[in-house]
Amino acid sequence: MARRLFPAVLVAALSVISNAGVSEAWWWSPGWRWDSLFPAPAADRGRDEHRPPVSSIVTAKVYRDMFPHKDDADCPAHNFYNYTPFVRAAELFPAFGAEGDAATRRREVAAFLAQISHETTGGWATAPGGPFAWGLCFKEEISPPSDYCDATSTQWPCVAGKSYHGRGPIQLSWNFNYGPAGQALGFDGLGNPELVAGDPDVAFQTALWFWMTPRPPKPSCHDVMVGRYCPSADDVQANRTAGFGLTTNIINGGIECGPGGAPQAVADRIGFFRRYCAMLGVDTGPNLDCAHQQASFG
Ligand SMILES: *[C@@H]1O[C@H](CO)[C@@H](O)[C@H](O)[C@H]1NC(C)=O
């Protein structure tokens, strides 16, 4: 069974694509202060009290149906990505899945779950239930090619002996993401990066922190999916218009978007998104792909 689950080609593909999220050095912008953006904006944009929480969009049953294999013994993350820590983490980000009309809210949640599913997928083309039934199978990058330490990021200095490879639902990577994620969420991201693959609450929190936090000139994935993103003239020129494809661009555009990108990885993300939109009874909206978009913002 382990062989069926992890054929060599899959492991190779995973090491290239699945763990590539949150990995781009050009995200880091030295002048930007995370604490000017968090938590005040999240609080300002608090969930409308009249709107139901994320747990009413994704019930425990829907979550089980979305991730039928996540607790299989062959999935390294089995028994890690439970429903309760997902819902608890969402409560810390009250604007998540709570802005715009019912369709917008559902579509945003589907987009988030699709992106984390691609980042953690254990699926392959002929997998039981199809390739998109295998989200949340991995919690940590397999065979990381490096310790993901960007020594030029003096604001978030690497701690000797620590590795900042992909961990958790969004596969948080690099010291310049672990540092601010930890500071925002109240843990030592640089000194204790292992926590992201050790504590399910922290794991989901890092994924939602990443989803909700803009990194100028990049917007947040949240703002893109709720219609708050205002493309600049450069963005328009580069075809960076709102839609699921733009969240892929934000997450891993330098590798996957534009000419010479990674269309198979992009298609995997879109496949999860289509499946979850169907399950939540919402259309996908436009601009699913990012092949025609330029990657680098700014
Ligand atoms: C924008 O999209 C159009 C149509 O797909 C394409 O012809 C054009 O080259 C794209 N522009 C850039 C800057 O990638």
Residue nearest to atom 8 of ligand 1 (CA): 292
Fill in the DSSP letter of residue 140: B
Coil, helix or strand at residue 172? strand
141-149 long-range contacts, CB within 8 A, separation 24+: 141/15, 141/19, 141/165, 141/166, 141/167, 141/171, 141/173, 142/11, 142/14, 142/15, 142/19, 143/15, 144/19, 145/15, 148/23, 148/173, 148/174, 148/175, 149/174, 149/175
Residue 287 beta carbon below 6 angstroms from any ligand 1 atom = no
CATH class of 2-280: mainly alpha
Q: What integer pLDDT is reported at residue 51 of this predicted model?
A: 67
Q: Is 119 a catalytic residue?
A: yes
Cis bond before residue 259 (omega within 30° of 0): no
Type of residue numbered 219 = P
Residue nearest to atom 12 of ligand 1 (CA): 238
Residue 292 beta carbon below 6 angstroms from any ligand 1 atom = yes
Residue 238 beta carbon below 6 angstroms from any ligand 1 atom = yes
Residue 249 beta carbon below 6 angstroms from any ligand 1 atom = no
Both tokens assigned to 220: 């947040």
Please count the residues of the chain.
Answer: 298
Q: What integer pLDDT is reported at residue 42 of this predicted model?
A: 43
Residue nearest to atom 5 of ligand 1 (CA): 292
Fill in the DSSP letter of residue 152: T
| Residue 230 and residue 246 in contact, taking contact as beta carbons nearer than 8 Å | no
CA atoms within 13 A on the CB side of 16: 13
The domain spans of the chain are 2-280
| Ligand 1 atom nearest to CA at 239 | 1
φ/ψ (deg, to 5) at 218: -80, 135
* d(C-alpha 5, C-alpha 74), whole Å: 7
Q: What integer pLDDT is reported at residue 279 of this predicted model?
A: 98
Q: What integer pLDDT is reported at residue 47 of this predicted model?
A: 53
Residue of 108, 119, 140, 256 with catalytic role: 119
pLDDT tens digits in sequence order for the chain, 298 residues long: 233 344 333 333 443 334 444 544 333 333 332 333 333 344 445 555 566 799 999 999 999 999 999 999 999 999 999 999 999 999 999 999 999 999 999 999 999 999 999 999 999 999 999 999 999 999 999 999 999 999 999 999 999 999 999 999 999 999 999 999 999 999 999 999 999 999 999 999 999 999 999 998 999 999 999 999 999 999 999 999 999 999 999 999 999 999 989 999 999 999 999 999 999 999 999 999 999 999 977 5
Q: What integer pLDDT is reported at residue 225 of this predicted model?
A: 98
